[in-house]
Amino acid sequence: MPSELDRRFDEMLARVTGPGGRLVIEHDTEGRAIVGNFPGTLPGLFRTFCEMYGDSREAMVAGDERLTFADLDRHSEAIARALAGRGIAKGDRVGIAMRNCPSWVVGYMGALKAGGVAVLINGWWQKHELQHALELTEPALVIADEPRARRLESAGCNCPLLSLDVGQPLPAAFAPLLDGSSPGNLPEITPEDDATILFTSGSTGEAKGALSTHRAVTTGTYTYASGLMTLLGLLIEDDREPAGPPRTLLSVPLFHVTGEVPVMLNSFVVGRCMVVMPKWDAGEALRLIDKEKITYFVGVPTMSLELMTHPDRGKYDLSSLKDITAGGAPRPVSHVERLKQAFPEAQPALGYGLTETNAVGCINFWGSYAAKPESTGRPARPFVDVAILGAGDTHLPPGERGEIAIRSAANIKCYWRNPEATRALFTADGYVRTGDIGFLDEDDYLFIVDRKKDIIIRGGENISAAEVEAACYACPDVAEVSVFGIADERLGEVPMAVVLPRAGSGLDEAGLRAFLEERLAAFKVPARMVFADAPLPRLGTGKIDRVALKAQYRQ
């Protein structure tokens, strides 16, 4: 039976999305809900909401640099025209490889306003991973900060590369592009034009490029915005309206879908200031929450755990913090009660979505999360439908377990230049297969119980077991290897490798670790390695029995 909070939420959502509400709900040609009265393109989103908030609200804070929404729009417009003058045309891929900073945001805005497809490059990747991304997407230009520009050059980047000193304020950081450039004309963009490519690790190994249209990305953004509008309505109804505009800590990487959609893009819609962290540091996060009066925090569960347990937590006034949301990885149930004790002014929440769904899926919040902490929450209506798939992709009833699938207008268009993987991703009725196993209860709450695909989620980073195994096998001294995830209190899960060395090779952990560090991003290198002295167990098919090994080493 629905809880009182769920009942009130649904009633307020009906006001927000019903006749006379803030959002006008329409449906696309496939019958999926979209917002009809908000811009259907990202350039339209930027221009509309930057004009709405103008110079009256801060949009970004990065060290001593403070920028309003009008500043971001003005700078990105100049960058867009400079890119057009440089020859960037509608549909050209523009890579972005930078740490979190204002230059990342306005570079993204400018690329999209110029008609480009923003390719979000993982800033932690090493040479081989960067080579694959560049060969797959063939960018017409890559905009990078200086450290990543050097890494791209070492990876053999043969596309135009614009290196920026992102420590400089805007527009000085973009001087290499803006100085002496001849502004070009900007194209007309439609909701069905291609907008972004994000990379996602799959069970097959190398990262795939998830291509989204403007409609998909804006729908993902408005899905999150509609939830916040609904919750704000409940606060106002309870006479608890926030005293000032919302402010969030930008602590997750912008090249991840969580950083891009629910944090960055949603901040434009709801007029929320983003306080930038170039890299994660729990002590610095506590200082910024106090200094900048952060109201909203989102990060992988590891981050909120580190905030809870940091020895300096008591030194800061954290009373401004009202919401602590986790996404990207499961949050241990034990953390929920600890969060309530550590941050009595804040409400915990948990979201579930994929790169392939532009981060939308389910949300569990406030008292509902406390009541059902094992659940990722209900589907984000009216935009999201969740199905549990059985044999032949039949939709299973509540309580039965199967593969979780998500349908919404925020779903990606396809995997870039990978039709086979695209066909495997979608069901015939337009649902994205998540690879997760779960069930819906009678109240429509989703519970995830297992993963179908061999993906390890380390602190929000997806790691393909197959990719790590392939890197291990590249070492001539490895005879057999199996990689899988094991539990970790801080990160949720970390990769482990069971290795059979080639006879007489003398391979040890230090040697294999050094070999892998040259080929994989640091977060993919196994945290634990076990060296076997006999062949690894096999299934009847001859494949290594990963399930048996995982059961043996689970603890």
Determine the straight-line distance between the first and last CA of the chain, rounded to whole angstroms.
38
User: Could you count the other beta carbons within 10 Å of the beta carbon of residue 19?
Assistant: 7
Helix (H) or strand (E) holding 497: strand 492-501
pLDDT of residue 407 exceeding 80, the answer is: yes
What is the reported pTM? 0.86
Q: How confident is the model at residue 203 (pLDDT cuts 50, 70, 90)?
A: very low
pLDDT (0 to 100) of residue 429: 97
pLDDT of residue 120: 98
Token digits of residue 393: 């992709």
Of the two residues 155 and 181, the one the predictor is more confident about is 155
Q: Is the dihedral of CA 449, 450, 452, 455 positive or negative?
A: positive
pLDDT per residue as tens digits for the range 110-130 = 999 999 999 999 988 988 889
What confidence tier does 293 reach under pLDDT thresholds 50, 70, 90? very high
Task: Calculate what percentage of the chain has a pLDDT beyond 70.
Answer: 97
Q: Are 241 and 184 in contact (CB under 8 A)?
A: no
Question: What pLDDT score does 465 carry?
Answer: 83
pLDDT band at 303 (very low <50, low <70, confident <90, very high): confident
Helix (H, G, I), strand (E, B) or coil at 403: strand
Tell me the pLDDT tens digit for each residue of 67-80: 999 999 999 999 99
Query: What is the average pLDDT value for the chain, to the nearest integer?
Result: 92
**Alpha-carbon span 361 to 379, nearest angstrom:** 6
In this predicted structure, what is the pLDDT of residue 546? 79
What is the pLDDT at residue 202?
Answer: 52
Bridge partner list, 462: 457
Lowest mean pLDDT among 143-147, 270-274, 519-523: 519-523
Report the share of the chain in percent with pLDDT over 90: 73
Backbone CA torsion sign across 391, 397, 401, 403? positive
Checking if the pLDDT of 327 tops 90, the result is: no
Query: Who has greater pLDDT, 204 or 439?
Result: 439
In the prediction, which pLDDT does 363 show? 96
Tell me the CA distances in angstroms from 219 to 36, 213, 224, 489, one per residue in order: 10, 10, 9, 35
